[in-house]
Every structure is written in structure tokens, then in C-alpha cells.
Amino acid sequence: MASIRLRRLNRWQAEGLKEDVADLYVESSHPLAGTAHSSREAFLHRLTGDVRQPGFAMLVAERATLLGCVFGFPLRRDGSWWRGFLGPLPRDIEQLTASGHVFAVTDVVVAPHEQALILGRRLQERLLDDHRASLGATLVLESAVRSLAAFRSWGWREVGEVHRPPGAALHRALVLPLGRAPAAASGQGLPPGTRRPER
């Protein structure tokens, strides 16, 4: 792990690396036989959309080759990212989103090896730390059991479900509190570790 180099990419550098990242995604996601191409194309489509988001950031892990990457963007204050959330969004999450202190980790991609979970944790922690977010947020397909297990092992907790048309697939909404606990948490407060935004 010590010899792995982490490097920040801007949106133009990310565009230039997206084919390599898509190859790494297919290698790490183990798609069903005959679905590798469609899985790769769907990933590229998502990545292309994310790159266009204001504040997009990507962090890659490299040795001689690309070993992993994480990317995301700050959530818009209008709360549009939470559209499709089933039930009421917890009040503190709504407030942190409106304050501009929530960063969405939209994907963590790591080459399969014995330290993949450790590298994935390191990548997402570094990306969130670089952006000084009070809260990390992510959506994971309900069927993506391995991804859900990885996020839970990194300390993320589920706060509900999101339905994003088209299709009937449900996503699990997860958050990762960052920094210190609020001085005065409300009854629906986030777990200890959430940092209130400075005003």
C-alpha cells in the first residue's frame, strides 16, 4: 500500500482516463456472462454525466497501472439529488444539503486484490477530506450486495431508499458523517461524528 500513489484529476483529465476507468470497472464488478459490454457502457454513461456536474472531482490510485479510483461532486443546495427518496428525508440531511456541505461519492472502483477494501476506504476518505464535507452521501443499487457490504464496512449507514426512473430498481441511500458531532443535535440528528457547517 505504501508504494501506491494517489493523484487528483480534474474533469478534463478524467475524460481522458475514462476508458481505462471503465475497463477497471468491468474487471472489478464481475458482470454476468454476456453483459460486460452493456455494463461497461452503462458505467461510461454515468461517468460522463458525473463529469459534467459542478465541482466534479476524481482521485486515482496508481502503481505501474491504474489500481482504483473514486469520484463524485458536491450536492446542489436545492436537494435535487435526493429526488425519489421514499418517505421524508431526515431533517439534518436536508439542512446539510441546503448549506452546501454534502459531497456525493458516486462510485468507488478498485481492482480486485487482497487489499481492495483497504484501498477503497483510503480513496473515499481522501476524496471527502479534500472537499471538507460535513457529510458524504451515496446511492447503491439494492442488488449490489458486495458494494453495499463494502460501504457499510467503511462506516457508511443507510438512511432510506431512492427510486430513480427509468426502471424499477431501488437504490439504498447511505451517508457517512465527517468531523465532530453537532453541539446541539436535533431529535433526528445524524450519528456522532457529523460536523455542522461553519456559517
Whether residue 160 lies inside any domain: the answer is yes
Whether residue 183 lies inside any domain: the answer is no
In whole angstroms, give the CA distance from residue 107 to residue 193: 23
Whether residue 190 lies inside any domain: the answer is no
Total domains, the chain: 1
> Could you report the per-residue pLDDT of 45-82, keeping only the tens digit for each?
999 999 999 999 999 999 889 999 999 999 999 999 99
Name the residue with cell 458505467: 43
Whether residue 186 lies inside any domain: the answer is no
Stretches where the chain sits below pLDDT 50 are 180-199
* Res 185: pLDDT: 36
List Cα–Cα distances, 42 to 49, 122, 156, 163, in angstroms. 11, 26, 25, 18
Q: Which three cell numbers stand for residue 190?
A: 445524524
CATH of the domain at 36: 3.40.630.30
For 63-82, b where at least 16 C-beta lie within 10 A, e where not — what string? eeebbbbbbbbbbbeeeebb
Whether residue 182 lies inside any domain: the answer is no
Whether residue 27 lies inside any domain: the answer is yes
* Res 153: pLDDT: 94
* Res 1: pLDDT: 58
Asked if residue 166 has a cis previous peptide bond (ω within 30° of 0), the answer is yes
* Res 188: pLDDT: 44
What's the whole-model pTM score? 0.85
Whether residue 198 lies inside any domain: the answer is no
* Res 110: pLDDT: 94
Parent domain of 15: 5-177
Whether residue 194 lies inside any domain: the answer is no
Please work out, in degrees rounded to the nearest 5, the angle formed at the alpha carbon of residue 118 by the alpha carbons of 117 and 119.
Answer: 90
Strands (E), 22-169: 57-62, 66-74, 102-110, 135-141, 157-163
